Amino acid sequence: MAIHPREKRIILKYADEPGYTPDIDCYMRHGGYVMLKKAVGMDKQMICDEVKNSQLRGRGGAGFPAGVKWSFVDRKSGKPVYMVCNCDESEPGTFKDRQIVHKDPHQLIEGIMISCFATDCAKAFIYIREEMPKGAKILEQAIKEAKEKNFVGDDILGSGYSCDIVVHRGAAAYICGEETGLIESLEGKRANPRIKPPYFPAALGLYMCPTIVNNVETLCNVKHILEMGAEEYAKIGRPNNTGTRIWCVSGGVKRPGYYEVAGITLGELVYDICGGPKEGRTIKAIIPGGSSMKILKNGERFKGKDRDGNEYDWGIEDIPLDYDGIAAAGSMSGSGGMMVLDDSVEIPVALANLMAFYSHESCGQCTPCREGSLWLKKITTRMVHGEARPEDVDLLRSVADQIEGRTICAFGFAVAWPVQSYLDKFEDEFREFAQRHNHLGGDRTAAKELACNH
């Protein structure tokens, strides 16, 4: 994909360069594994401190500071420590890890090995979703090449440190992106998430051993932090929102795609870089960070006070495109998967599409989520099919409210937030939609196609 001049590419610096290939020779010609060579001669704690001081936050969804996560690892247990790279990229709207794995796999492997060395991990696992079958093969090949050069395996570069990487293929269950569900899956079970406490991976993770679970993009950043130094790295973006982020934009824009940027606004991404709405369309709403995140309505004002007590009053285009900016607008940057909904999209139908997704992906462990997500699908589907009932809009909210906060894992929020936020922002449209679709007959082709829930 063409690189936009407004991008600041660090992670995807070479990915789309003509002639850049995923093999180790190409990677090494571009300065690959130099940082690993440097790292194995460094003090481990120093590397951990660098990552902490860089303020790097997790790129997978929750945005937890990576260095702090590393520091939670239980070192006194006497058990081995495991590293798990979460490559289960499955939050609808997200397709950034796909680019790294397919085009620059060695960058990920170098990031993993530096991170494993720094945290003294005994073994690393890359959990990759089965919807990317070629990605798994590319990673296997890359690991093989890295082993031949002694970057992975026994006594890495004569350091005395040994660590292997195992590629583990999932089988299309969204819940495996949730770290404790992923761990259960890696142990050879159904991916039912574990309850925290006590099962924080840093203490009781894989095989009940201390485990670090980091996203693909997060681990790639480690290499660049070491290269630039924490201080320089932290100058990219805003404090507490350091480094670049790869944003994935899909839906109603002229130029959908992935863009690595720092220090810009949501409007600059959507209007300048992505070219704004398609011809003859206007933007109705934006789901900022993957389909679980609360929706932002175009035309709405986002007001409040920041940490320093300064008041802000933003339109959707003014929202700073980072963790704190989007949080200040009442949503989350999540996995960076931005879906743009234009005025052709009926919000209740978009919800019907997503509820079919979430009901399919609930692991079924907690009753509110298992039953509730199915009810949300049933209600939104019958609305699309012309069988809306007068009580349906209120019923949707009631069911969502009873799921949120009543489940073992965050999936309960992921299913409730779209319902609650779409109703908060578009309640009139829901009521009008329910009124208009309370009888059979009429042409429902477009709505059924968007719900795509045959």
Partner 1 sequence: MELKPETLAEIEEAIPKYPEKQSAVMPLLHAIQKDQGLLTNEAAEWVAGKLGMEAIQVLAVITFYPFFRQHRIGKRHIRVCRTLSCAMAGGAKVCDRVLSEFDTGLNEISPGGEVTVEFAECLASCGSAPVMLVDDDLHENLDEEKAKAICDQIKSEAVQA
Which residue type is seen at 95? Answer: F
For residue 239, the SS3 value is: coil
Which residue type is seen at 151? Answer: F
Cα–Cα distance, 312 to 360 (Å, whole number): 39
Cα–Cα distance, 209 to 192 (Å, whole number): 18
- 248: its two tokens: 């994935």
- 122: its two tokens: 């005994």
- Residue 148 CB, nearest distance to partner 1 (Å)? 17
Cα–Cα distance, 105 to 252 (Å, whole number): 30
Smaller CB distance to partner 1: residue 153 or 315?
A: 153
Cα–Cα distance, 245 to 235 (Å, whole number): 14
- Residue 113 CB, nearest distance to partner 1 (Å)? 17
- Residue 1 CB, nearest distance to partner 1 (Å)? 8
Smaller CB distance to partner 1: residue 98 or 194?
A: 98
Smaller CB distance to partner 1: residue 84 or 400?
A: 84
410 burial level (CB within 10 Å; 0-12, 13-18, 19+): middle
Smaller CB distance to partner 1: residue 99 or 107?
A: 99
Q: How many CB atoms lie within 10 A of CB 452?
A: 11
- Residue 150 CB, nearest distance to partner 1 (Å)? 19
User: Which alpha helices (DSSP H) does 244-346 contain, by range?
Assistant: 266-267, 323-328
Smaller CB distance to partner 1: residue 82 or 151?
A: 82
Chain center to CA of 180: 16
- Residue 195 CB, nearest distance to partner 1 (Å)? 19
Query: Which phi and psi (to 5°) does residue 202 adopt?
Result: -60, -20
- Residue 65 CB, nearest distance to partner 1 (Å)? 25
- Residue 226 CB, nearest distance to partner 1 (Å)? 28
- Nearest one of 327, 323, 297 to 312, comparing CA atoms: 327
- Residue 240 CB, nearest distance to partner 1 (Å)? 28
- 83: its two tokens: 């590293």
Smaller CB distance to partner 1: residue 118 or 191?
A: 191
* 390: preceding bond cis by omega (within 30 degrees): no
Smaller CB distance to partner 1: residue 191 or 319?
A: 191
Smaller CB distance to partner 1: residue 63 or 181?
A: 181
- 416: its two tokens: 């409730």
- Residue 166 CB, nearest distance to partner 1 (Å)? 5
- Indicate the DSSP class of residue 4: P
Smaller CB distance to partner 1: residue 185 or 331?
A: 185
Contacting positions for partner 1 (CB under 8 A): 1, 80, 89-95, 97-98, 123, 129-134, 164, 166, 168-174, 185-191, 207, 248-252, 256-258, 291, 337, 339, 341, 345, 350, 353-354, 356-357, 360-361, 363, 448-454
Cα–Cα distance, 295 to 93 (Å, whole number): 13
